[in-house]
Structure 1
């Protein structure tokens, strides 16, 4: 099988690449390396079944030809990370929407034989106060005047484009709403919490918690996520669906910091930083982000292999090896 991965040098994208290379597939990666890194695919970059092009998905001249050769397309390319979202809201909206539309147009132009996975985000649920976030929920996103919501709005637009193209052109498309994904190769420089905690705990630095730490999230290992995405891609019942993808074990950020500190045998103090200092004066965080995985489980029947503790131990070991 021939796989095209946009954003394939990113955190999740590189694990998709690794998964399919290990499965014996031929994989074509395109990434502009804005947030992705060649280091993420270095262990298998010389593999005979891997091809890499450094290019912007919005302007890449080879997109149509590459899509025509693909059996499966993962569209993962996007401007991500809360720091970049706040600093570059125009780039976030324009790049994410234009890139997705161009990929969809290329698939439609080539006969729609490709299976396509479009990456969305749990951010589209916005200010929902529901205990469980379901794919059929009404979505509550504040005005685009708040830079915080630029990413969510761009992903909502991507979903709308995907659904429109799917219905109009008969695409074999699935939209995935990714919840908090963690694991090897994730960088803390764009605001990701777990790699920041790991680095601080291992170095004995203060562990910085934004807000009061009572906000909850459900973390899942990227290696489980990419394996489950492959199952979604294989299941024809997932075509035309929007699917929450993640894990439903809820934990506070305070609890996450405590687990990291204990498993790293660290003496790091916990330091609380107000949102206005960490981000901007009008930043609003989401207190709870817990997915309803009923549809996901019915479509994949996937059994997770990585507990949060096992992932943390793995990341601590990797961080220690860099010292």
Structure 2
């Protein structure tokens, strides 16, 4: 199978590359490296089945050729991370929506119909406080949300584009609503909470929880997520599909900080930081985010292989090796100011 991955140098994209190369597929990645890292692709560079182009999806001249080559397209290219979304609100809208539209327009014009998997987000559910978020819920954006929610707006638009092009041109589409994804190669530089907590715990620095810490999230290992994507895309039938992808185990940020501190055997104190101080913008955070996975489990034989503890232990070990050269060691000796 020929697989095109836009945004393939990113955290999730690079795990998709690993999955499909391991299955013997030919993989073509395009990424402008504004968020993704070329280092994420280093393990695959020597493979004869791998190709990489550094390019912007809005102007990439080889898009038509690549789309006509592909049997499956994963569209992950986007501006991501709370820090970047707040810093570049207009770019979020322009890049995320326009890139998706150009991809589908190009595919429709080609006459070839590769399967397209579009990465959406749990943020399309808005401020719902339901115990479980289901795919048939209405999507919403708060009028009090501020520029942070431009990301949610862009993902709702991408979903609408995908479903519209599927209906009008018969393009087989899977819209995957990702919940919080974690794992190797994720960085905390754009606001991702787990790598930030792990870094602070391993260094013995205060673990900074934003807000009161009672907001909950559901974390899934990227390697489980990409297997779920492949299973959804490989199912029988070509009808357009929207599906939650993630893990339905729920944990508060306070409990997550405590768990990481425990797994890292760290003395780090836990410190609460107001949103205004953390992001330079005060906004309403989503208080609960837990997926209903009935559709995923009904349509596929998907089962999680990684527990939250499994992933955290791996991330802590990798970060400790990077900082100290050994996966073992004593708790860091630091002085915490009162």
Q: What band does the TM-score fall into relative to the shorter chain? A: over 0.9
Matches within 5 A, 1:42-191: 42-143=42-143, 146-191=146-191
User: Would you identify which runs of 4 or more consecutive aligned residues in structure 1 move more than 2 Å?
Assistant: 110-113, 236-239
SS of the equivalent of 2:134 reads coil
Superposed CA deviations along residues 212-252 of structure 1, whole A, max 9, x for unmatched, are 11100000000000011111110134630111111100011
In the alignment, the residues of structure 1 paired with residue 40 and residue 296 of structure 2 have an alpha-carbon distance, to the nearest angstrom, of 27
Aligned twin of 1:265: 265
- Aligned 8 A contact 2:27 2:50 in 1: yes
SS of the equivalent of 1:236 reads coil
Aligned twin of 1:228: 228
- Aligned 8 A contact 1:180 1:220 in 2: yes
Superposed CA deviations along residues 14-69 of structure 1, whole A, max 9, x for unmatched, are 10011111111100000000000001111112211100000000110100000000
Superposed CA deviations along residues 130-183 of structure 1, whole A, max 9, x for unmatched, are 111111111221239710110000000001111110000001111110000000
SS of the equivalent of 1:74 reads strand
TM-score by length of 2: 0.93
Matches within 5 A, 1:217-256: 217-237=217-237, 239-256=239-256
For residue 321 of structure 1, report the CA deviation from its aligned partner.
1.5
Aligned twin of 2:295: 295
In the alignment, the residues of structure 2 paired with residue 196 and residue 41 of structure 1 have an alpha-carbon distance, to the nearest angstrom, of 22
Aligned twin of 1:310: 310
SS of the equivalent of 2:73 reads strand
Matches within 5 A, 1:21-36: 21-36=21-36
Superposed CA deviations along residues 89-115 of structure 1, whole A, max 9, x for unmatched, are 100000000000011112212224311
- Runs of 5+ consecutive residues of structure 1 not aligned to the other structure: none
In the alignment, the residues of structure 1 paired with residue 164 and residue 305 of structure 2 have an alpha-carbon distance, to the nearest angstrom, of 35
Superposed CA deviations along residues 78-97 of structure 1, whole A, max 9, x for unmatched, are 00000011110100000000
- Aligned 8 A contact 1:232 1:238 in 2: no
SS of the equivalent of 2:138 reads coil
What is the number of equivalent residue pairs in this alignment? Answer: 323
- Aligned 8 A contact 1:112 1:169 in 2: no
SS of the equivalent of 1:109 reads helix
- Runs of 5+ consecutive residues of structure 2 not aligned to the other structure: 324-338
In the alignment, the residues of structure 2 paired with residue 222 and residue 312 of structure 1 have an alpha-carbon distance, to the nearest angstrom, of 12
Q: CA RMSD in A?
A: 1.2
In the alignment, the residues of structure 1 paired with residue 189 and residue 57 of structure 2 have an alpha-carbon distance, to the nearest angstrom, of 23
TM-score by length of 1: 0.98
For residue 320 of structure 1, report the CA deviation from its aligned partner.
1.2
Superposed CA deviations along residues 260-315 of structure 1, whole A, max 9, x for unmatched, are 11111111011110111111343110110011111111112201100000000010
In the alignment, the residues of structure 2 paired with residue 286 and residue 62 of structure 1 have an alpha-carbon distance, to the nearest angstrom, of 39
In the alignment, the residues of structure 2 paired with residue 296 and residue 158 of structure 1 have an alpha-carbon distance, to the nearest angstrom, of 20
Q: For the pair shown, which has the larger CA radius of gyration, 1 or 2?
A: 2
